[in-house]
A and B are shown apart, each in its own frame.
Chain A
Amino acid sequence: MFESLQNRLQSAFKTLAGKAKLTEGNMRDALKLVETALLEADVSYDVVRDFIDKVSEKALGEKVLLALNPTQQVVAIVQDELTNLLGPVDPSLHLKKDLNIFMLCGLQGSGKTTTCGKLAKMLQDNNIKPYLAAADLQRPAAIEQLHVIGRQLGVPVYSELGATDPVKVCQDAVRKAKEEGAQVLILDTAGRLAIDAELMAQLQQIEKRVQPHQVMFVVDAMTGQDAVNSAKAFNEALELNGVIMTKLDGDTRGGALLSVKHVTGVPIKFIGVGEHLDALQPFRPEGMVGRILGMGDMLGLIDEVRKAVDVNQQAELEKKLAAGDFTLDDFKVQLKQVLQPGLMTRMMSMLPGMGDLSKMLANTDAEGEMGRKVAIIDSMTAKEKKTPKIIDQSRRNRIARGAGVQVQDVNQLVKEYDLMAPIMKSMAGKGMGGRMQAIQDLQKNLMSDPSGKMAKPKGDTGKRLSPKERMELKKKREKELRKKKREQRGQ
């Protein structure tokens, strides 16, 4: 997310780094780079100009020129200004006691219907009863789409077959939601163009007659310069309360977020980071700016880890460890927690200075590696998992066949387990300090005992052929070559 903007700014500041003194000249160069980076990230031109003016005003002040570490100070100014531009933020929904009506609006294809589902899921997770209303009567099958999402979540969906007036549908939906005792009604309106006066008037009609408590503007993270125009039009027509940005899970730089915020001034509430219905996150400008500037997002990282780890499973594991038990099954549970799709890469991108590393990681198959390990454990019998000592050579061969891997992979896994088990057992039941001590002891042991080093993967050494085989292969190759040449001549 925001990777390219991050890289650009990083390189912009790299030109500053190493220069002992900051002059007006090299400052302008750096700001030029910041400007280019923001423009390439699809921040609207006028917003960029505004931003750069503000930053240069501050950055070119005497204070910076005399600062001890000008580089850091410029970074700080850019960071502050970006945070200012994106914040303050307030992801709470300010729910009232009785029925709350949310209205979602936006351009076609910005992801309104999916976002309706994600919002409903988020409310459900917080024990709030949502209710969905299908007021998109334009796009074929939009109503059906909302129904499917509703069924997936177990959330009621209000729709009227063959209806033509979205205002009436919304009004009826409000009545029905009140009857059902729902706490939040989410209206899914039709996507429209900012310049379509007729459809915009219809939205205003809904707002006037239904009086939603909050109007959310849904915007696609991939939007370019036009974000300003549409945000302005919707904000003027409807008085928005919040913005939800979707599709931030790709490699889009999402600069449109800056534009929309700048134009509307309304807080950015949530960001959509995936296709699945739980992929909606509260927006945090600090984290976003940290990412933009390549400074990492520790808070987000902690959040990810907390979400990934199943608390109940963890407690159970703790108990077993206390009893001195750590089987291959437990090992698998641990592997699986790290294995969740995209988790590793997401976490890497949030670590400070790891932007480049996560790109490298994208090319390796860390997750596939873990998957193979899980498959190996799955190919073992219950008895083997419980008492791994019994896994002899013939069992290893069988396991390897079952998991579709080489025997070496099985060997390595067993080795890793042998290494892990004592650590886990020694750590069980100890507090934080005790665990640190255990790790230190382990390190000491490793240093003194060279045979206890970590298992090293062996590379492929290739096959050794006998001279006879080699001759045969050579003959074969030459024959092929002659055949090819003949064919070419023939053509």
Chain B
Amino acid sequence: MGLFDFFKKAPEPAGVPPFGGSSIPPKGGTPTSSKAEEQPAGLFAGLKRALKKTADLLNTDVRDLFKKEGRLVDEQFLTELFAILVKTDMGVGPASRIRDKIGSDYRARVVHMPDVLAVVKAELRELLAQPERPVNLAASGTTVILVVGVNGSGKTTSIAKLTQHFRSQGKRVVLGAADTFRAAAVDQLTIWADRLGAEIEKGPPGGDPASVAHKAVARAVETGAEICIVDTAGRLQTQTNLMQQLEKIYRVIAKQIPEAPHEVLLVLDATAGQNALSQAKGFSEAAKCTGIILAKLDGTAKGGVVIPIREQFAIPVKFVGLGEKATDIAVFRADEFIDALFADWK
């Protein structure tokens, strides 16, 4: 309030007098009287503002005086903070909430940006905190994992990584190639299955994906495989018919094993912006997402959009994808993720 406001409003009184004062003679009583009140009020307000500036200075935290460099928390500082927050893709809502909170807590104090960020990080850590259990496994028998997402988010690659994750634990994995739409999607998954030693159930191109899902689950149950992962075609959450198809796949799986699918993982591209919120909403409505795989986190994108997703839909991030190899997968850790969000501001 103090400094910035003073400068902003200062030119105003200076600009007003030549307008009304000299050129137009007052016709009614009202303009004159309002003017008469305005002048002293303006003066007084100016004086008050000037005094407030001093008061702000006096209110400066004693601790801050000992800091050599450091910055006054003013409008400019908060704008900078806002820019840092927005650039993580967390969205305007959360970013302005954090900015306003920091503004009211630290206004007119002298601080260092890293210190402020440490406070922000602590809060985000609290928000994203989750028990460390990556996958909800079935108590006994086959665990079915349904993988969904928009086109090009990295579903098939993420499935390869999940497969690798379970294979390295010595589990048997059956894959269901239910992306019967995209050209060569089945081939892509088949190549991965061969490389990783997983079984795969396919259908004809353009065939019914629900039938592939059914066959995959049936095969996993029959052969006693611990894990069954069902791939689905990429679809935009706005394509009603395709979302209905997804519901059907979900129903077909649930018919075979009542608790299944045990996990419905939404694959989000880390480069995605605010549309990811709409994705989380759409896919949750159709297939009750239980978790997120944040793919392609190895680039410059931060994936901050999982923050509002967690806030609004309570869907936790379970895994992060970090590269193109099958081993490039890690269990999500809030600490590391948040540190990476602000890595440019150490």
Contact = CB atoms under 8 A, between A and B. Distances in A.
A49 B86 CA distance: 12
Interface in A249-281: 249-253, 255-256, 275
Contact of B184 (A108, A144, A225): A144
B275 A42 contact: yes
B211 interface: no
Interface residues of B, number: 45
Nearest to A44: B87
A335 interface: no
Contacts of A252: 273, 275, 278
Interface residues of A, number: 48
Nearest to A150: B183
Contact of A36 (B87, B92, B296): B92
Interface string A134-145: 000011111011
A55 to B, nearest CB: 17
Given A141-B184, A222-B272, A224-B89, A193 B298 contact: yes
Greatest chain B CB density within 10 A among A195, A249, A251 is at: A251
Interface SS of A by simple majority: loop
Contacts of B187: 140-141, 144-145
B188 A39 contact: no
Given A139-B188, A249-B236, A39 B272 contact: no
Contacts of A40: 91-92, 274
Interface in A121-151: 138-142, 144-149
B151 A42 contact: no
A108 B296 contact: yes
Interface stretch (B49-57, B162-170, B252-260, B299-307): B299-307
Contact of A255 (B91, B238, B273): B273
A294 B207 CA distance: 40
B276 A108 contact: no
B202 to A, nearest CB: 13
Given A108-B154, A225-B88, A250 B296 contact: no
A356 B89 CA distance: 27
A402 interface: no
A111 B151 contact: yes
A145 B150 contact: no
A138 B238 contact: no
B139 interface: no
A289 B177 CA distance: 41
Interface in A457-472: none
A141 B189 CA distance: 8
A250 B299 contact: no
Contacts of B299: 107, 193-195, 226, 229-230
Given A109-B152, A109-B153, A145-B183, A41 B237 contact: no
Interface in B171-201: 181-185, 187-188, 190-192
Given A141-B187, A145-B183, A195 B300 contact: yes
Interface in B240-273: 269-273
A230 B300 CA distance: 8
Contact of B192 (A140, A142, A148, A249): A140
Interface in A274-327: 275
B324 interface: yes
Given A141-B188, A251-B278, A222 B150 contact: yes
A110 interface: yes
7 contacts: A108-B154, A109-B154, A138-B324, A144-B183, A144-B184, A146-B183, A224-B301
The 4 A-B pairs with the shortest beta carbon distances in the complex, nearest first, are A224-B273, A109-B152, A42-B273, A148-B183
Given A144-B184, A223-B272, A225-B86, 18 more contacts: A42-B275, A46-B83, A109-B154, A140-B188, A144-B183, A144-B187, A148-B183, A148-B184, A193-B296, A220-B152, A221-B275, A222-B150, A222-B276, A224-B271, A224-B274, A227-B271, A253-B275, A256-B273
